[in-house]
């Protein structure tokens, strides 16, 4: 038995006795019709079982998908467990809400961002790239499509809208705080320098060849203040990775009296590592983070950290994306301020 044919725009037009364009306007340009005519068209469509124009076909015809693509540097599972990213994404989404745009998440992989094929087929009118390495292949795919782009944090691309924080300055604030407390022996826990899964002590050669700008800048801020110190690279901003790294750093002789952590998540792992070794924070080891996620205030002890306005950063990225969608220009990079929040995880070195 033949299946009944699905109703189409032409089916509705014939039933109402109007043109195809009139039915289309009832869905896409309601201001072009009287309220009575639009209601008659929609009522006929409902009776016939017509759900409206196919969004994919409409995007192909108009070359617009009403979507903001969000390029992630890591897989979705890791992204949703990153509190800093979640807050940035919430700020962006709250700005895009109410503008009839959806958000398309494109997860990263082992090359430091989404696969170029994913970007090539994504239905998006503008792209927001979040914390990708300088040489992420996805960036070339965005350029090949000619899509406008907003970068959050990294990389730095000429002619691209960008929202960032003063990573080097914030890291220097953290280091100078510890120096002011009398600390002279440090260890550093940092993000990946390259998207190759490496974890371990960082050599001078690896430091020089890093492709993540934020990692480079935060290390520059730390080391410009404290001088030479052992740096442990974590392959992601995850507590368990930092816990392992902190134990390695604290096992060195002489033992560091302070740990500088490139994120609060890394700092939470460091706090656990100190406890693993039978030491206490801050009496034996001071620990300082970066971000000031909500959990920092409730850590044990409460975490001293560098606060960056994560919600504001996402909101500003969303505003830039909407501006580019309206044909606006990228403008100058937006740099949001950071400040030090002193809590109980740092203390005078006796």
Alpha-carbon distance of 103 to 100, in angstroms, equals 10
Task: Give how far Cα 137 sits from Cα of 87, 114, 164, 310, 333, Å.
Answer: 26, 8, 21, 26, 23
pLDDT computed for residue 255 by the predictor: 97
pLDDT computed for residue 127 by the predictor: 94
DSSP type of residue 216: H
pLDDT computed for residue 180 by the predictor: 98
Q: Name the residue with tokens 């205030």.
A: 297
3 state SS of 74: coil
- Do the beta carbons of residue 116 and residue 139 sit within 8 Å? no
Backbone dihedral angles phi then psi of residue 104, each to the nearest 5 degrees: -110, 115
> The domain 9-53 belongs to what CATH superfamily?
lambda repressor-like DNA-binding domains (1.10.260.40)
Is there a common fold for 9-53 and 167-308? no
Domain boundaries, the chain: 9-53, 67-165+310-335, 167-308
DSSP type of residue 73: S
pLDDT computed for residue 275 by the predictor: 97
- Do the beta carbons of residue 46 and residue 12 sit within 8 Å? no
Q: pLDDT under 70 in the chain at which residues? A: 1-4, 28, 51-66
pLDDT computed for residue 55 by the predictor: 47
Chain-centroid distance of CA 90 in Å reads 10
Is the CATH code 3.40.50.2300 the one for domain 67-165+310-335?
Answer: yes
Alpha-carbon distance of 95 to 150, in angstroms, equals 14
Q: Where are the beta strands (DSSP E) in 210-302?
A: 231-233, 258-261, 286-291
Alpha-carbon distance of 230 to 185, in angstroms, equals 10
CATH of the structural domain 167-308, one choice from 3.20.20.70, 3.10.620.30, 3.40.50.2300, 3.40.50.800: 3.40.50.2300
3 state SS of 130: strand
């Amino acid at each position: 038995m033949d299946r009944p044919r699905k109703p189409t725009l032409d089916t509705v037009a014939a039933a109402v006795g109007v043109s195809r364009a009139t039915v289309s306007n009832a869905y896409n340009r309601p201001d072009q019709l009287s309220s009575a005519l639009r209601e008659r068209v929609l009522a006929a469509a409902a009776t016939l079982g017509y759900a409206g124009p196919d969004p994919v076909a409409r995007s192909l015809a108009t070359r617009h998908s009403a979507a903001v693509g969000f390029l992630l540097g890591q897989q979705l599972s890791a992204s949703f467990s990153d509190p800093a990213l979640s807050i940035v994404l919430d700020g962006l989404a709250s700005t895009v809400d109410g503008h009839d745009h959806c958000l398309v998440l494109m997860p990263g992989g082992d090359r430091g961002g989404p696969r170029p094929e994913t970007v090539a087929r994504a239905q998006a009118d503008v792209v927001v790239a979040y914390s990708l390495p300088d040489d992420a292949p996805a960036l070339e795919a965005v350029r090949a499509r000619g899509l406008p782009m907003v970068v959050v944090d990294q990389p730095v691309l000429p002619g691209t809208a960008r929202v960032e924080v003063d990573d080097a300055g914030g890291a220097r604030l953290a280091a100078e705080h510890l120096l002011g407390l009398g600390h002279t022996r440090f260890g550093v826990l940092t993000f990946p320098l390259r998207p190759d899964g490496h974890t371990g002590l960082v050599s001078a050669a690896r430091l020089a060849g890093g492709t993540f700008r934020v990692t480079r800048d935060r290390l520059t801020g730390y080391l410009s203040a404290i001088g030479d110190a052992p740096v442990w690279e974590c392959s992601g901003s995850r507590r368990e990775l930092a816990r392992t790294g902190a134990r390695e750093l604290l096992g060195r002789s002489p033992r560091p009296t302070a740990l500088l952590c490139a994120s609060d998540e890394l700092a939470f792992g460091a706090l656990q590592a100190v406890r693993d070794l039978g030491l206490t924070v801050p009496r034996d080891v001071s620990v300082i983070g970066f971000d000031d996620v909500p959990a920092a205030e409730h850590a044990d002890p409460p975490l001293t950290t560098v606060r960056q306005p994560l919600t504001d950063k996402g909101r500003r990225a969303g505003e830039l994306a909407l501006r580019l969608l309206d044909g606006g220009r990228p403008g100058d990079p937006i740099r949001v301020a950071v400040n030090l929040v002193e809590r109980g995880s740092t203390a005078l070195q006796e």
